[in-house]
């Protein structure tokens, strides 16, 4: 990130969900730069395991509070004396959100409201506030129609998917070829998880308008890297594929592996987080945080297998999952131009970092169980013949 006229400052930073994947990387970088860090995290067993304790990966000197994001008393204590808040606490994962709606709304939406209330009860001056949002708010994102140019395709129809037609469509009916999505693109989430992230954004922007809270919204694309949960089947396609390859089990690709994603390494995300959390003048606005490059799901599986030096068995069973999008790639020009964001880790280099870390960790492959749960609820379909 480039130097700007708004300067650096030593900060006292609260990270909600700071023991998690992105939060812990952010905490480590903040501490390394000399900032005081406090972490509030519930240590969800689905992510941290049944005997969860604050991870040893958090640097010495980081203060920890184990509490629910809806615990008003704990929030008041956690906010005492802080200059900036990074709000990472959330349930993540598209598939699970489709049926566990109340939990996602309670943690992601109600939890954000509880945090904002606690900030306003504390009174002025308000801390700088950075919300960890998601590319899921865009839904299908931007597409190019041969008749209308760049458009906002609606959600893909299930009937089209069952007929083997994967590409989203322009409202006129023509197929829309995916293109990178800019921050001013219309929001149209296709999963409950995406809806909760949009609701988080709207709550925070309303608070910014009414109370003058300085809010920065960062929309992360597909973040991967070390410390990503190896036991949660609903988050992290990289960890899911790694578990299959490590166990010498076949990888069955949804939609023939043709969908594309923007994979951004967690170190690039953490650098962006620290940059915006530690300005002497709080930054505001909404920015995509990604690599800016499209990688097919099949390409990801093949690259990961190459990095692991294993022979991958890749299957196409004609499967798709409700709530998935075809493509999600970031247009990162705004962050590049306005504050010098520049991803530094290539996909192959990032996967090497992940594999080197994961090799020393225990992992459990719960993917089949997760898929069976989705199938039981009518959200997972197989046996489709894909069109070219």
Residue-level pLDDT at 6:
46
The whole model's pTM is what? 0.93
Which residues are within 8 A (CB) of 1 and not within 5 positions of it... i.e. 6 or more apart? 271, 272, 275, 339, 340, 341, 342
pLDDT, one tens digit for every residue, the chain (388 residues): 655 444 556 899 999 999 999 999 999 999 999 999 999 999 987 777 777 778 777 888 999 999 999 999 999 999 999 999 999 999 987 777 777 899 999 999 999 999 999 999 999 999 999 999 999 999 999 999 999 999 999 889 899 999 999 999 999 999 999 999 999 999 999 989 999 999 999 999 999 999 999 999 999 999 999 999 887 766 789 999 999 999 999 999 999 999 999 999 999 999 999 999 998 888 899 999 999 999 999 999 999 999 999 998 999 999 898 878 999 999 999 999 999 999 999 999 999 999 999 998 876 666 677 777 777 777 788 888 998 7
Domain boundaries 12-140+181-232+263-295+323-346, corresponding CATH code: 3.40.50.720
Long-range contacts of 155-162 (CB under 8 A, 24+ apart): 155/188, 155/190, 156/190, 156/325, 156/326, 158/322, 161/255, 161/320, 161/381, 161/384, 162/381, 162/384
Rounded distance between C-alpha atoms, residue 365 and residue 346, angstroms: 26
Catalytic site residues? 193
Rounded distance between C-alpha atoms, residue 110 and residue 108, angstroms: 6
Rounded distance between C-alpha atoms, residue 217 and residue 276, angstroms: 10
Residue-level pLDDT at 5:
40
Residue-level pLDDT at 100:
84
C-alpha dihedral sign at 174, 178, 179, 183 = positive
What residues does each domain of the chain span? 12-140+181-232+263-295+323-346, 143-179
């Amino acid at each position: 990130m480039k130097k700007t006229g708004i300067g650096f400052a030593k900060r006292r930073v609260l990270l909600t969900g700071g023991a998690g994947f992105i939060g812990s990387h952010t905490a480590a970088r903040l501490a390394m730069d000399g900032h005081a860090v406090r972490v509030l995290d519930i240590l969800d067993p689905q992510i941290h395991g049944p005997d969860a304790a604050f991870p040893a990966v958090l640097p010495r000197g980081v203060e920890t509070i184990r509490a629910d994001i809806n615990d008003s008393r704990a929030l008041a204590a956690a906010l005492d004396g802080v200059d900036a808040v990074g709000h990472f606490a959330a349930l993540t994962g598209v598939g699970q959100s489709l049926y566990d709606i109340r939990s996602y709304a309670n943690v992601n939406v109600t939890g954000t409201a509880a945090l904002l209330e606690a900030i306003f009860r504390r009174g002025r001056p308000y801390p700088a506030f950075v919300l960890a949002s998601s590319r899921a708010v865009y839904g299908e994102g931007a597409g190019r129609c041969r008749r209308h140019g760049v458009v906002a395709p609606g959600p893909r129809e299930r009937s089209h998917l069952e007929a083997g037609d994967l590409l989203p469509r322009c409202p006129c009916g023509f197929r829309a070829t995916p293109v990178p999505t800019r921050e001013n693109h219309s929001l149209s989430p296709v999963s409950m998880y995406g809806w909760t992230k949009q609701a988080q954004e709207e709550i925070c922007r309303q608070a910014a308008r009414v109370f003058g809270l300085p809010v920065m919204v960062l929309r992360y694309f597909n973040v991967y890297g070390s410390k990503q949960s190896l036991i949660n089947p609903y988050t992290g396609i990289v960890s899911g594929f790694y578990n299959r390859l490590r166990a010498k089990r076949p990888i069955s690709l949804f939609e023939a592996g043709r969908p594309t994603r923007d994979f951004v390494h967690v170190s690039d995300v953490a650098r962006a987080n620290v940059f915006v959390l530690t300005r002497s003048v709080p930054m505001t606005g909404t920015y995509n945080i990604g690599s800016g490059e499209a990688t097919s799901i099949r390409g990801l599986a093949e690259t990961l297998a190459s990095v692991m030096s294993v022979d991958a068995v890749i299957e196409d069973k004609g499967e798709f999952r409700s709530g998935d999008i075809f493509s999600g790639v970031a247009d990162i020009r705004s962050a590049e131009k306005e504050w010098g964001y520049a991803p530094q880790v290539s996909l192959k280099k990032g996967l090497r970092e992940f594999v080197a870390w994961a090799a020393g960790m225990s992992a459990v492959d719960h993917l089949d169980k997760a898929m069976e749960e989705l199938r039981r609820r009518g959200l997972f379909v197989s046996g489709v013949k894909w069109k070219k």
